[in-house]
Structure 1
């Protein structure tokens, strides 16, 4: 299946298998007043990004490449929960120079480069390859295996004339290594988890969302993954889901509530999910250029609570995760 149909419009809904291609040349983008946009005017409306999180023992690693047309953005961090210390880098390339985000679902190759760092992301045959280098020296090398885990793959209408496609996976096996802040080489092992988030589309020109992601082993040694979002992908279903040993279970609509300081609560419309979130270190950006801008917060979080799935109760007790709040005008 090509995401874009022959009539110029996307397929909508959740998909049991990943689309083979995303062919933007087929998509006809119109303004709210019916004008068809082509060329650079169409491209300026198109946004795409890739994010990866790796949870290894008490380390959380996050990295991303984003192409928002007027700028390319890359970031990379390693957070040590035991020491409460972070190694962090981020950069912006004007007009997305030295930035490639390949949105094809099955085979893709992306990179972001700005001295002294480069991020390379490749995907082929169900394996995601990630390298982060500084002055040519490898700081992170990861092979992430997607087989055996159901993908979240969905597309929903956005605004009056746009769409958003997202593809997410959690609790993925990971091999490789990274260099911590002290210069030691840390090897990934069989308990290391990775999660992937690939998103693209013609998003609202002014938008905001909340998002939570979590991977952990429960007391019965089950692989538990969680993806929750509010504010995006809600016009034809939602992207909320729970993974148990690689099997995806849809969840109902979610409400994020900030209770003050470092405390959040999250609950579902059907009352089967109730979570308490304590936030710590925050990756923060605040850019206001009037016509465009972004305020981005991604917190390291500890998550507790319960999720009822059929006759099974999933218990979270201070599990590591990410909580995100993002406002964008682009």
Structure 2
């Protein structure tokens, strides 16, 4: 993993700064790309989003604000791990620029917001180097702060995209949380929970598919993706140190996504079994666009290691998610 963060995701010669880096970048900016496409192509293919996942032994919360160029969408859910039930599951579409804004700043100075009938979501960087998370929908309320100041080095990945041009993502591991959430008349104290942020920005193909897994706590965390971005964003954090991982493999039954999943990397550094507790799913077909999405919530167990031949470390009860996602957008 390269510790020398580039000044920009586009090099001086107009080529994307492909690679995996440990550390923050100020913003995603594709304006200097040598490869030229029409204004309309860039408008339709420029996708950007902020995703937050956070949880503890009682709940898991997932939310995202997504600008796909010609439309925007947002979702937020709260999963009760003890009852194995979604207490809140909200989503809404809107008009980009009017109802949703996703900044090109991934962490520092970041701002992502969505406003729609009966709903407001906002993720905003604050002067104390935290992210303020504010959610108000008819079924879910959240007020939380995510601490960036004490975080381990995040991943910055930049890579080519078949059928598109390039993609960049900044992903954190465990962030300390302060705050609360309310759903179905129940209030959950989030102090002591752990969160992770995914800020992504790319010029992507119209048809995009991926499998994804993410789980984080202070001693161990990881992010895996198999699909449109290759192994670019595959990373393991051990005691706060980011370690690049090889290609990811997801073994699961797509017809039975709540059965156990086996996730591993071809370098032998990660080998885990994921046991789902429940899931959020959504299928849409809007003629000009379509998506199939399922995000199981559960826990990972197995082994990880820092390098080939290094001692194995056992992982138990690591809260996280997997995802099977196909989009025509």
Q: Is TM more than 0.5 here?
A: yes
Number of residues paired by the alignment? 314
Q: Which residue is equivalent to 1:99?
A: 100
Q: Which residue is equivalent to 2:179?
A: 176
Alignment partners' CA distance in 2, 1:66 and 1:327: 15
- Secondary structure (helix, strand or coil) at the match of 2:31 reads helix
Q: Which residue is equivalent to 1:247?
A: 241
Alignment partners' CA distance in 1, 2:27 and 2:125: 14
Q: Which residue is equivalent to 2:79?
A: 79
- Secondary structure (helix, strand or coil) at the match of 2:120 reads strand
Q: Which residue is equivalent to 1:324?
A: 323
Moved more, 310-319 or 81-90: 310-319
Q: Any conservation in 2 of the 1:29–1:42 contact (CA below 8 Å)? A: no
Long gaps (5+) in structure 2: 1-6
Q: 1:266 to 1:124 in 2, by over 3 A?
A: same
- Structure 1 residue corresponding to 2:220, chosen from 188, 208, 224: 224
Q: What does 1:129-278 correspond to in 2, within 5 Å?
A: 129-134=132-137, 139-147=141-149, 148-159=151-162, 161-184=164-187, 186-190=188-192, 192-216=193-217, 223-234=219-230, 238-259=232-253, 261=256, 262-278=259-275
Q: Any conservation in 1 of the 2:162–2:228 contact (CA below 8 Å)? A: no
Q: 1:275 to 1:17 in 2, by over 3 A?
A: closer
Q: Any conservation in 2 of the 1:55–1:215 contact (CA below 8 Å)? A: no
Alignment partners' CA distance in 2, 1:52 and 1:266: 21
Quote the offset at 1:131 in angstroms.
0.4
Alignment partners' CA distance in 2, 1:272 and 1:154: 19
Runs ≥4 residues deviating over 6 A: none
Q: Which residue is equivalent to 1:114?
A: 116
Q: Does 1:309 align with 2:306?
A: yes
Alignment partners' CA distance in 1, 2:265 and 2:32: 37
Q: Any conservation in 1 of the 2:214–2:321 contact (CA below 8 Å)? A: yes
Alignment partners' CA distance in 2, 1:272 and 1:25: 37
Alignment partners' CA distance in 2, 1:138 and 1:80: 13
Q: Any conservation in 1 of the 2:57–2:81 contact (CA below 8 Å)? A: no
Quote the offset at 1:160 in angstroms.
5.1
Q: Does 1:15 align with 2:21?
A: yes
Q: 1:76 to 1:52 in 2, by over 3 A?
A: same
